[in-house]
Copies of this chain bind each other. A is one copy, B any other.
Amino acid sequence: MSRSHPRTKFRSGCPLNASVEILGDRWSLLIIRDMMLRGFRSYTRFLDSYEHIATNILAHRLKKLKGYGIVATQQDPLDGRKVIYTLTQKGMDLAPVLTEMVLWAAAHEDTQNPELICRIKKDKQKFLAAVRQKWLEDSSRTS
């Protein structure tokens, strides 16, 4: 019953507003982070992440992200119970957004994971290329 793309029009045509309507909540970007930076691909992995999302919220967010074409699903050929969640190209294109949000918080808030921040600061383009490369490799391994 979930349509492939939520077609209720955005509140305005502003591109920032579109991003906010799609990603502006307390969980979506964290799920994308787990997929992009930690390589998580399954429901239970997302559940076990640091911030402890509730099961129903996770299900809703995954459905929404899929609806917007940010994540895609496939059945695990080796285990009929498992669903494999992957980032689409559209999802991967959020890498610069995540990166800038990480840099901003690292600069202005008390946060952890200094290795990641160092790596990004040292060479942002190289970091983005590496993230993208890892995604390409995982994609070829999967599909």
A contact residues vs B (CB 8 Å cutoff): 10-27, 29-30, 33, 50-52, 69, 90, 93-94, 96-109, 111-113, 116-117
Contacts and interface: CB of A to CB of B under 8 A. Distances in A.
Residue from the set A29, A50, A97, A102 with the largest chain B CB neighbour count within 10 Å: A97
Contacts of A14: 30, 33, 50-51, 111-113
Given A25-B25, A29-B24, A101 B16 contact: yes
Contact of A97 (B51, B97, B112): B97
Give this chain's copy count: 2
Contacts of A22: 105, 109
Nearest to A21: B26
Contacts of A101: 15-16, 19-20, 23, 97
B90 A13 contact: no
16 contacts: A10-B109, A13-B112, A13-B113, A14-B51, A14-B112, A15-B101, A18-B111, A19-B102, A21-B26, A22-B105, A24-B24, A24-B26, A25-B25, A93-B108, A97-B101, A99-B100
A16 to B, nearest CB: 5
A138 B15 CA distance: 25
A50 B108 contact: no
Contacts of A26: 20-21, 24-25
A113 B18 CA distance: 12
